[in-house]
């Protein structure tokens, strides 16, 4: 299995171009199933997860042309598609569940394997199903998969117990062709949902209130095709902001939407990191003043993003002083703690709190990626650690970051990918 060898590097210096958002492009690709004509999506990141979603769309009948050199894909979906998503694709990527709402809206029936859990949690889909039921779907759990049926979906109201990103997206995609008006309360407010709704409204949908906790969808008869751009990846942006901080470097991060990373900026500034916004770029300096520790608590947007918690924890190990990291979104998102401790970090877990005493220099070690963002955290820790850090199971990282090594090497990181 391939590995990364990471040497102590930096201060990192130079420019990074951020790619399109993984968590925006995946629901937008699923939503293209609803279009009666061709959809052209720009700003598409070259990711394994995007390839898996292309495979899923093809498996139900769409034709998909991928042009990663120009970061674009073109999807056209026939009137009649299969209502069944294949297990071998769904098990590869949890986000496959986002095909459920569109397939139900398009065909009146969907059979989808349960996506299953992953390292960071059980990842249930009860809120997705609660929302589809509110639109009139009949849900039948079967061993290992779930079936949803509805002759016609009708407008309905749902109050989400938790502002689930995926559930909000699935319900929107089912409601856009429903007969009547639907309201989602306690909806997720993430920017990726706004990007999805803008795509659907371009196709002729009538969605209002995205970006707030109450979303109103007025069902329409049909949706056309359209051209749409994916927003920059705010999690990749945060990852490189932290790369500048952890190596006490100086990075100009381009193709970003600064407003989407405000909680990360606020926390970095609390640590003494200099962060300056321009229109579509951010200048981050970890060398502006001595850095100090802080505490973080993850929350749904606009709170501090759970997808940047592991990376920020790696940064905090390089600061003097105690820190408390509270993870409120996932029940098991501390798998990277054991690996960071193998590098000499001093972190204890108490429930969903991690108590960290930073300041002792990290030492390179052999570590394992447990999930996408934990992997990014280990690379960042390796850049600061003395000696060499050997990171295995790096397929997790390559699922969600495009041209990961190339971007880091360009700004001075000593990272090598070895096979075997
Ligand atoms: C999306 O996952 C993202 N993935 C995740 O990014 C991100 O961490 C997460 O939102 C939170 O921001 C994509 O967009 C493809 P949720 P999603 O439903 O939709 C519980 C990454 O690293 N829940 O908001 O699956 C769930 O167990 C990935 O890029 C239910 O209980 O997240 C979790 O504790 C990781 N029932 C919490 O809600 C449900 O029906 C948040 O999950 C659904 C969710």
Extended beta strands in 155-297, E state: 157-159, 181-185, 206-208, 214-218, 226-229, 250-254, 274-277, 281-285, 296-297
Distances (CA, A) of 225 to 38, 200, 221: 5, 9, 14
Q: How far is the CA of 78 from the centre of ligand 1 (A)?
A: 30
Closest CA to 339 of 413, 392, 282, 272: 392
Residue nearest to atom 1 of ligand 1 (CA): 165
Residue 118 annotated to the active site: yes
Q: How far is the CA of 250 from the centre of ligand 1 (A)?
A: 32
Q: How far is the CA of 300 from the centre of ligand 1 (A)?
A: 10
Q: Which of 39, 54, 118, 226 is catalytic?
A: 118
Q: 121 CB less than 6 Å from ligand 1? A: yes
Ligand 1 nearest atom to the CA of residue 188, by list position: 24
Ligand 1 nearest atom to the CA of residue 128, by list position: 40
Give the pLDDT confidence score for residue 117 in this predicted structure: 66
Q: 306 CB less than 6 Å from ligand 1? A: yes
Cis before 302 (ω within 30): yes
Ligand 1 nearest atom to the CA of residue 235, by list position: 29
Give the pLDDT confidence score for residue 90 in this predicted structure: 80
Closest CA to 167 of 82, 95, 217, 228: 95
Q: 395 CB less than 6 Å from ligand 1? A: no
Which residue's entry shows tokens 């050997």? 390
Contact 388, 6 (CB under 8 A): yes
Q: At what angle do helices 100-107 and 126-134 cross, to 10 degrees?
A: 30
Distances (CA, A) of 165 to 43, 114, 191, 232: 21, 17, 10, 17
Could you give the CA distance from residue 9 to residue 412 in angstroms, rounded to a whole number? 7
Give the pLDDT confidence score for residue 97 in this predicted structure: 94
Which tokens in the block code for residue 308? 């940047």
C-alpha Rg value of the chain to the nearest Å? 21
Which residues have a Cβ under 8 Å from the Cβ of 103 and sit 6 or more positions away? Answer: 33, 60, 81, 83, 85, 110, 112
Could you give the CA distance from residue 261 to residue 309 in angstroms, rounded to a whole number? 13
pLDDT tens digit at each of 420 positions of the chain? 899 999 999 899 999 999 999 999 999 999 999 998 999 999 999 999 999 999 999 999 999 999 999 999 999 999 888 888 888 878 888 899 999 999 999 999 999 888 766 778 888 899 999 999 999 999 998 888 899 999 999 999 999 999 999 999 999 999 999 999 999 999 999 999 999 999 999 999 999 999 999 999 999 999 999 999 999 999 999 999 999 999 999 999 999 999 999 999 999 999 999 999 998 999 999 998 899 999 999 999 999 999 999 999 999 999 998 999 999 999 999 999 999 999 999 999 999 999 999 989 999 999 999 999 999 999 999 999 999 999 999 999 999 999 999 999 999 999 999 986
Which tokens in the block code for residue 181? 């008006």
Residue nearest to atom 13 of ligand 1 (CA): 23
Give the pLDDT confidence score for residue 82 in this predicted structure: 86
Residue nearest to atom 7 of ligand 1 (CA): 307
Contact 179, 153 (CB under 8 A): yes
Q: H or E segment at 41? A: strand 39-42
Contact 229, 43 (CB under 8 A): yes
Q: How far is the CA of 306 from the centre of ligand 1 (A)?
A: 9
Q: 128 CB less than 6 Å from ligand 1? A: yes
Give the pLDDT confidence score for residue 116 in this predicted structure: 67
Contact 101, 174 (CB under 8 A): yes
Which residues have a Cβ under 8 Å from the Cβ of 88 and sit 6 or more positions away? Answer: none
Helix and strand counts by DSSP (H, E) for the chain: 14, 23
The Cβ of residue 289 has, within 10 Å, a number of other Cβ atoms equal to: 11
Could you give the CA distance from residue 299 to residue 174 in angstroms, rounded to a whole number? 26
Q: Give CA angle at 135 (91, 32), nearest 5°.
A: 50
Residue nearest to atom 28 of ligand 1 (CA): 307
Give the pLDDT confidence score for residue 36 in this predicted structure: 82
Which tokens in the block code for residue 120? 């960071």
Q: How far is the CA of 5 from the centre of ligand 1 (A)?
A: 30
Give the pLDDT confidence score for residue 158 in this predicted structure: 97
Q: How far is the CA of 87 from the centre of ligand 1 (A)?
A: 20
């Amino acid at each position: 299995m391939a590995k990364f060898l990471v040497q102590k590097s930096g201060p990192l210096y130079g420019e990074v171009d951020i790619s399109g958002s993984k968590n925006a492009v995946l629901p937008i690709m699923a939503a293209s199933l609803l279009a009666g004509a061709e959809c052209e999506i720009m700003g598409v990141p070259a990711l394994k997860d995007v390839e898996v979603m292309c495979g899923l769309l093809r498996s139900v009948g769409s034709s998909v042309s991928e042009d990663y050199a120009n970061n674009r894909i073109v999807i056209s979906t026939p009137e009649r598609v299969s209502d069944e998503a294949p297990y071998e694709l769904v098990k590869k990527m949890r986000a496959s569940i986002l095909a459920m709402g569109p397939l139900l809206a398009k065909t009146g029936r969907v059979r989808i394997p349960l996506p299953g859990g992953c390292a960071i949690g059980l990842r249930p889909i009860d809120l997705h199903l609660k929302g589809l039921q509110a639109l009139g779907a009949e849900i039948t759990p079967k061993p290992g998969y779930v079936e949803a049926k509805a002759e016609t979906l009708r407008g309905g109201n749902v109050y989400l117990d938790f502002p689930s990103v995926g559930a909000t997206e699935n319900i929107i995609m089912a409601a856009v062709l429903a007969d009547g008006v639907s309201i989602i309360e306690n909806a997720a407010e993430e920017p990726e949902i706004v990007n999805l709704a803008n795509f659907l409204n371009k196709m002729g949908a009538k969605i209002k209130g995205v970006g707030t906790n109450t979303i109103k969808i007025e069902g329409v008869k049909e949706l056309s095709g359209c051209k749409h751009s994916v927003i920059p990846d705010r999690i990749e942006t945060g990852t490189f902001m932290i790369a500048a901080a952890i190596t006490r470097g100086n990075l100009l991060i381009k193709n970003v939407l600064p407003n989407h990373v405000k909680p990360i900026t606020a926390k970095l500034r609390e640590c003494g990191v200099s962060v300056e916004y321009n229109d579509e770029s951010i200048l981050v300096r970890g060398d502006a003043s001595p850095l100090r520790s802080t505490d973080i608590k993850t929350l749904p947007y606009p709170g501090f993003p759970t997808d940047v918690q592991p990376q920020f924890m790696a940064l905090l190990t390089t600061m003097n002083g105690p820190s408390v990291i509270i993870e409120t979104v996932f029940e098991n998102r501390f798998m990277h703690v054991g690996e960071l401790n193998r590098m000499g970090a001093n972190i204890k877990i108490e429930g969903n709190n991690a108590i960290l005493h930073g300041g002792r220099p990290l030492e390179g070690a052999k570590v394992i990626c447990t999930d996408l963002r934990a992997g990014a955290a280990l690379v960042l820790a390796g850049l600061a650690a003395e000696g060499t850090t050997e990171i295995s199971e790096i397929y997790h990282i390559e699922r969600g970051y495009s041209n990961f090594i190339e971007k880091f090497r360009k700004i001075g990181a000593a990272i090598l990918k070895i096979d075997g």
